[in-house]
A and B are shown apart, each in its own frame.
Chain A
Amino acid sequence: QQQVKQSPQSLIVQKGGISIINCAYENTAFDYFPWYQQFPGKGPALLIAIRPDVSEKKEGRFTISFNKSAKQFSLHIMDSQPGDSATYFCAASIGETSGSRLTFGEGTQLTVNP
């Protein structure tokens, strides 16, 4: 049972363009939505995260847009750079009790062409 669905599976963007990755969740109890970035040979690293009390969060070139009624959230990478080429995972979890139980999406492999 896949509780977090991510799309697209792969994405190719030209340098300077906007990369958009979408996720949809089913469990309305989720209240923490992080995005992780993973480079080859490395473990995932937290990129940016949002709580459902806000509709948007921006950190540098990375923005999360959150639509609670639609149960969807997305990652926007502005001015995409070749160094952004990586696999991106959305995730969701419930609260802060007994450690976080992250449910991950399938991942999106982003390639930014120079």
Chain B
Amino acid sequence: ETGVTQTPRHLVMGMTNKKSLKCEQHLGHNAMYWYKQSAKKPLELMFVYNFKEQTENNSVPSRFSPECPNSSHLFLHLHTLQPEDSALYLCASSQVAGLEQYFGPGTRLTVT
């Protein structure tokens, strides 16, 4: 099992709800990532944080709002989502100068 945990593992929310996904890494890494995984599509990089600073936002809609309070924790705040946002959301971590990313198990999100 990896040193990256994600909660909750499953989430069902309505389009008007507000919820948050949580990621925690226990590997001493200083870079963290959010990915979206949809069926039959490549993993889509959403956000990158290096040393708690956001360094990349891949044109993600504002209804997704990331937060990185420290190098070990990463959140994804969700509001006013659309059904097409239903997917597996994966968190990953790495060293800033490293190549290998370690993934969490993901949160399966269903928007109704």
Co-complex (A, B): yes
Asked if A9 lies at the interface with its beta carbon under 8 angstroms from chain B, I say yes
Contact between chains at A34 and B43 (CB < 8 Å): no
CB-contact partner of A98 in B41, B43, B55, under 8 A: B55
Contact between chains at A43 and B40 (CB < 8 Å): no
Query: Smallest distance from the beta carbon of A21 to chain B beta carbons, Å?
Result: 14
Query: Could you say which of B12-20, B75-83, B94-102 contacts chain A?
Result: B94-102
Query: A104 CA to B58 CA in the complex, in Å?
Result: 14
CB contacts (< 8 Å) of B34 on chain A: these are none
Query: A64 CA to B4 CA in the complex, in Å?
Result: 27
Contact between chains at B96 and A99 (CB < 8 Å): yes
Number of interface residues of A (CB under 8 A): 27
Contact between chains at A99 and B45 (CB < 8 Å): no
CB-contact partner of A43 in B55, B98, B103, under 8 A: B103
CB contacts (< 8 Å) of B40 on chain A: these are 9, 106-107
With contact pairs A43-B92, A43-B105 given, residues A105 and B100 touching in the complex (Cβ less than 8 Å): no
CB contacts (< 8 Å) of B106 on chain A: these are 42-43
With contact pairs A93-B99, A98-B50 given, residues A42 and B105 touching in the complex (Cβ less than 8 Å): yes
Asked if A96 lies at the interface with its beta carbon under 8 angstroms from chain B, I say yes
Contact between chains at A106 and B41 (CB < 8 Å): yes
Contact between chains at A99 and B42 (CB < 8 Å): no
Contact between chains at B101 and A41 (CB < 8 Å): no
CB-contact partner of A104 in B43, B55, B98, under 8 A: B43
Query: Smallest distance from the beta carbon of A36 to chain B beta carbons, Å?
Result: 8
Binding site for A on B (CB under 8 A): 2, 4, 31, 33, 40-43, 45, 48, 50, 55-56, 90, 92, 94-106
Known: A42-B106, A99-B50, A103-B42. 15 other contacts (CB 8 A): A36-B103, A41-B105, A43-B90, A43-B103, A43-B105, A44-B43, A45-B102, A45-B103, A46-B100, A49-B99, A93-B99, A99-B31, A100-B99, A100-B100, A101-B45
Binding site for B on A (CB under 8 A): 2, 4, 9, 32, 34, 36, 41-46, 49, 89, 93, 96-107
